[in-house]
């Protein structure tokens, strides 16, 4: 009996290895769902206008941030495949996030310099909510990087995701003020935004990675 029990125990590993975090169902699901941000660039948002259609006209600050969905999806797929981003990829992501933040800042600078303040609570909300998301989100992204909650280049992904969100919120609020139904592109952008928010929150509640000794 003792011999049989010993042989059986030898066949059972003492501790099964945990699956790689970057290939978990959650990470794969986030990467797949984030692909919706690509079609959102070309699909009509409202009034038949798509982000791609205004990239090269006077409304370009509203269109360019949507292009960030492409490098975000690429970075998420890259992280799922390898579990890390290279240093060059991380810095490219961070610089893209900073660039889109500057574009968002251009929008708010234009709003503040036109001399017309908000005429009501709705317009005040349209101006303040995206700005609060941008400032608080980027602060959280930097905090996640410094505390080890977004290791292996995930901080660059989170920074890009945060930079993407304010413009979508602003466009949805503005389009809603036109009393016109939102079109397919807006729903694709909102779905992408929800995916980003879930990913960001998951990073914030993740146990910090151990620092090298």
On whether residue 8 sits in a domain, the answer given is: no
On whether residue 3 sits in a domain, the answer given is: no
What pTM did the predictor assign?
A: 0.78
Q: Is the pLDDT of residue 150 over 70?
A: yes
On whether residue 9 sits in a domain, the answer given is: no
On whether residue 4 sits in a domain, the answer given is: no
Whole-number pLDDT of residue 39: 94
138 contact partners, CB below 8 Å, separation of at least 6: 97, 101, 159, 162, 163
pLDDT band at residue 89 under the 50/70/90 scheme: very high
On whether residue 13 sits in a domain, the answer given is: no
Segment of 53-67, 167-181, 197-211 carrying the highest mean pLDDT: 53-67
On whether residue 7 sits in a domain, the answer given is: no
On whether residue 17 sits in a domain, the answer given is: no
The rounded distance, in Å, linking the Cα atoms of 182 and 175 is 7
Q: Structural domain of residue 113, as residue ranges?
A: 22-205
The rounded distance, in Å, linking the Cα atoms of 6 and 10 is 6
Task: Please state which of the ranges 56-65, 82-91, 183-192 shows the lowest mean pLDDT.
Answer: 56-65
Task: Count CA atoms within 13 Å of residue 76 on its CB side.
Answer: 28
Q: Is the pLDDT of residue 154 over 80?
A: yes
On whether residue 44 sits in a domain, the answer given is: yes
**Based on the structure, what is the number of domains in the chain?**
1
């Amino acid at each position: 009996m003792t011999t049989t029990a010993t042989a059986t125990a030898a066949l059972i590993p003492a501790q099964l290895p945990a699956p790689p975090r970057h290939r978990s169902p959650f990470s794969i699901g986030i990467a797949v769902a984030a692909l919706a941000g690509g079609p959102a660039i070309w699909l009509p948002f409202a009034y038949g206008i798509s982000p791609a259609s205004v990239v090269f006209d006077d409304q370009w600050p509203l269109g360019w941030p949507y292009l960030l969905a492409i490098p975000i999806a690429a970075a998420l797929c890259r992280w799922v495949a390898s579990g890390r981003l290279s240093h060059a990829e991380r810095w490219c992501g961070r610089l893209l996030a900073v660039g889109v933040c500057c574009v968002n800042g251009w929008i708010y600078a234009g709003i503040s310099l036109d001399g017309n303040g908000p005429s009501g609570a709705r317009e005040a909300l349209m101006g303040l909510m995206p700005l609060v998301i941008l400032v608080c989100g980027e602060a959280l992204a930097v905090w996640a990087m410094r505390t080890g909650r977004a290791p292996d280049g995930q901080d660059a992904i989170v920074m890009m995701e945060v930079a993407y969100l304010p413009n979508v919120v602003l466009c949805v609020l503005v389009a809603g003020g036109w009393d016109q139904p939102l079109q397919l592109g807006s729903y694709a952008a909102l779905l992408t935004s929800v995916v980003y928010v879930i990913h960001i929150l998951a990073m914030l509640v993740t146990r910090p990675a151990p620092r090298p000794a």
